[in-house]
Amino acid sequence: MTAAIFALIGTALGVLGTALTQLIKARADDTKARRDNLRLICADFATAVARIKELACEVIEKRADSDPDAWTSINKAHLEARSHFEGLRLISSFQVQQSSRLTLRYAYGLMQEAEGKPPREDEKEQGPLKLFYKSLTELYIAVRRELGIPNPEDVFLDPDDWLGPQYRDSNKVVAVPENKV
């Protein structure tokens, strides 16, 4: 009888140990999958907003308002960026959501500038391109922090002389504070 009780206890401990091991592995797999999704969606988002910025700046510089292909590409990139932003909203922290939304806002501001429209109130002082670079860098920092990358603030910033003279000193970013929520 005693042997049967010990056998039952041993079996229960074995099953419990296996269940705990599987639970821990499932949680680690879930975290890895979430981080992989965040990395991929953020990369797709950054690609789309970079395309908006490049095309809008090209239109602004050339004043190629009559080029329908440029506008088709800009609008397509904007739709892609919007859809990737919604993905970021589902899986990321508040800081990532906020900085990605601001990046999208200022990318749209570049589109408005390319159409010859005046800047919105918050864009008047610095301009949408300057604000775009700042918010995109803040996004990179927030995502790197969420992914657990050491020194997340170590994001390469384009040197000022790579930008047009009207945008000098546009990419100086103050580190994004960690989300304490």
Assigned domain for 174 exists: no
Assigned domain for 10 exists: no
Distance, in Å, from the CA atom of 123 to the CA atom of 106, rounded to the nearest integer, reads 8
Write down the pLDDT at residue 67.
Answer: 66
| Cα dihedral 120, 73, 162, 147 in deg (nearest 10) | 90
Number of Cβ within 10 Å of residue 165's Cβ equals 7
Assigned domain for 70 exists: yes
Mean pLDDT value of segment 157-166: 66
Assigned domain for 44 exists: yes
- How many domains is the chain built from? 1
pLDDT over 70, % of the chain: 77
Residue 153's contacts (CB-CB under 8 Å, 6 or more residues apart) are 141, 175
pLDDT over 90, % of the chain: 53
* Higher per-residue confidence, 141 vs 115: 141
Helix axes 94-114, 2-62, angle to 10 degrees: 20
The band of 176, judged by pLDDT with boundaries at 50, 70 and 90, is very low
Assigned domain for 25 exists: no
Assigned domain for 178 exists: no
Write down the pLDDT at residue 160.
Answer: 67
CA-only gyration radius of the chain, Å: 24
Assigned domain for 114 exists: yes
Residue 173's contacts (CB-CB under 8 Å, 6 or more residues apart) are 134, 137, 138, 141, 155, 157
Question: pTM, whole model, 2 decimals?
Answer: 0.75
- Is residue 168 within 8 A of residue 128, CB to CB? The reply is no
Instruction: Please state which of the ranges 70-74, 98-102, 119-123 shows the lowest mean pLDDT.
Output: 70-74
Assigned domain for 180 exists: no
Is the pLDDT at 63 greater than 70? The verdict is no
Distance, in Å, from the CA atom of 127 to the CA atom of 5, rounded to the nearest integer, reads 76
Tokens read off for 173: 């970013």
> DSSP letter at 70?
H
Mean pLDDT value of segment 84-99: 95
User: What is the residue-averaged pLDDT of the chain?
Assistant: 82
Number of Cβ within 10 Å of residue 154's Cβ equals 10
The residue range of the domain holding 106 is 34-167
Write down the pLDDT at residue 180.
Answer: 35
